[in-house]
Amino acid sequence: MSCSVWADAKEVLQQRLDKVDGFSARFTQTVTTAEKQLIQQGKGELWVNRPNYFNWTMTEPDETVILSDNQNLWIYMPMVEQVTVMSLKQAVDNRLLLLITDSHNAVWNEYQVARQQNTFTLTPNDNSAQHFVISVLPTGMIADFTIVEGDGQRSQYELSHQSLGKVDMKHFKFTIPDNVTVDDQR
Q: Choose among 118, 131, 113, 145: nearest CA to 28.
A: 145
Report the C-alpha gap between 74 and 93 in whole angstroms: 12
Amino acid 27: pLDDT? 96
pTM score, whole prediction:
0.84
Domains identified in the chain and CATH numbers:
3-184 (2.50.20.10)
Phi, psi of 32 (to 5 degrees): -130, 160
Residues of the chain below pLDDT 50: 1-5
Which contiguous run of DSSP H or E holds residue 82?
strand 82-87
Amino acid 92: pLDDT? 59
Q: What is the 3-state secondary structure (H, E, C) of 112-137?
A: EEEEECCEEEEEECCCCCCEEEEEEC
Amino acid 98: pLDDT? 77
